[in-house]
Amino acid sequence: MKASKSKRGHGKRNAKIGLPPGALVFTGEQKLGDAQVSLLRYNSEKYIKDDRVDFEATLSTEMVTWVDVRGVHDAEVIEAIGRKFDIHPLVLEDIMDVHQRPKFDEYEGGYYITLRNFKFDEKTRTLAPEQISIYAGPNYVFSFQEDAEELFSDVVNRISNGKGKIRHRGADYLVYALLDRVVDGYFLLLDQIGETIEDLEEEILTSVDRLTKSKIHDLKRELLALRRSISPLRDAIGLMIKSDTQSITDNTGLFLRDLYDHCIQVFDLLETSRDNLTSLQDLYISELSFKTNSVMQMLTIVATIFIPLTFLVGVYGMNFDYIPELHYAYSYYILWGVMILLALIMLIYFRRKQWL
């Protein structure tokens, strides 16, 4: 299943071959019907939210304008937004190419940052990635998501309730708030993965099978995909901090530095989870070896018990004409008694040696 999805994704990316820069080609899997566009304007005194966006409306100079787009598969909608708000064609191309590496780019009049959000399925132990694209300027922010999930609902609530600093800050602080929401999600994600690793450890200690090995391998592969997103995001935020763009104020730069520290913490937690999985693989191999050795030990004990018994049976099974014991009336029962006694003595000996 995973391989087929990957092949379909690469097939859509191949559709861009030969096209000029700025060509709008959606490279992902469509996750909803029509694209959903909502508009939110605010300042320290009021905020206005409208799910029906008039592209002919101009950006307010007195209020921060946030245009939230869910669903980036519709090239007409993306092109209309770019044309109306003068967004660079390369930005629009990157928005629709949902296999982008997290990065930060500066453009005349604005800047663009892309990153990934992940949802973890605890049953299948797989990550579902979603590309988040943000384009911002002095007093406006455009956010683009692949599906209809209300990822930034808590940010909207902070704006509507007037809580915190967000209503008193500019568009750059809104960008920080959106990025911070995604990075905070990484902490929750790694907590879920940590619990899954603990469950796998209990599973290994309870019973060792090939399915457990496959689960460890799959989870390690998902962590590698997560690492490929978190590491470049840390670098992208570092570029934002060093950026000379006037759209990012020094005050917001302080919060971005804090966000950069959070990215480092997330990366450290990720590396810890990867180390725990490596230890889990070692534990799996150790438990498998112990189980194999236990089986071999039991087989060896059984074979050892039968060595003297086989010797006795072999002696009295020889084809000599005269064996004195064969003519004794109770020799058959005596032989059985001796064999049983030898077996009991050996079992007691093995038990005292703690081999059983």
Return d(Cα 3, Cα 232) in angstroms, integer.
24
Cβ(73)–Cβ(39) under 8 Å? no
pLDDT, average across residues 231-250: 91
pLDDT per residue over 309-318, tens digit each?
898 888 888 8
pLDDT, average across residues 94-110: 91
Residue 59 scores a pLDDT above 80? no
Same domain, 96 and 159: yes
Same domain, 123 and 270: yes
pLDDT, average across residues 118-135: 90
Same domain, 121 and 210: yes
pLDDT, average across residues 242-250: 88
Same domain, 224 and 331: no
Same domain, 299 and 280: no
Q: What is the largest CA-CA distance in the chain?
A: 120
Q: Of 254, 287, 320, which residue is a domain's last?
A: 287
pLDDT band of 33, cuts 50, 70, 90: confident
What's the pLDDT score for residue 2? 45
Same domain, 23 and 80: yes
Give bridge partners of residue 133 from the DSSP assignment. 114, 144
pLDDT band of 44, cuts 50, 70, 90: confident
Give bridge partners of residue 350 from the DSSP assignment. none
- Polymer length in residues for the chain: 356
What's the pLDDT score for residue 4? 43
pLDDT, average across residues 171-193: 95
Residue 115 scores a pLDDT above 60? yes
Residue 301 scores a pLDDT above 80? yes
Half-sphere exposure of 278 (CA within 13 A, CB side): 7
What's the pLDDT score for residue 143? 95
Q: For residue 314, give its domain range.
A: 294-352
Tally DSSP H helices, then E strands, for the chain. Answer: 8, 7
Give bridge partners of residue 37 from the DSSP assignment. 69
Residue 1 scores a pLDDT above 50? no
CA angle 33, 36, 38 (to 5 degrees): 170
pLDDT per residue over 210-226, tens digit each?
788 888 888 999 999 99
Same domain, 72 and 204: yes
Q: Of 239, 267, 287, which residue is a domain's last?
A: 287
pTM more than 0.85:
no
SS3 (DSSP) at 46: coil
Same domain, 336 and 229: no
* CATH number assigned to the domain comprising residue 17: 3.30.460.20
Cβ(263)–Cβ(230) under 8 Å? yes
Domain count, the chain: 2
Residue 178 scores a pLDDT above 70? yes
Q: Of 287, 312, 328, which residue is a domain's last?
A: 287
Same domain, 279 and 306: no
What's the pLDDT score for residue 145? 93
Same domain, 183 and 268: yes
* CATH number assigned to the domain comprising residue 317: 1.20.58.340
CA angle 234, 146, 177 (to 5 degrees): 45
Tokens representing residue 169 in the block: 């800050």
pLDDT averaged over every residue in the chain: 86
Same domain, 277 and 328: no
pLDDT, average across residues 57-62: 67
pLDDT per residue over 325-356, tens digit each?
777 788 888 888 988 999 999 889 888 888 87
pLDDT, average across residues 199-203: 88
Same domain, 142 and 12: yes
pLDDT band of 13, cuts 50, 70, 90: low
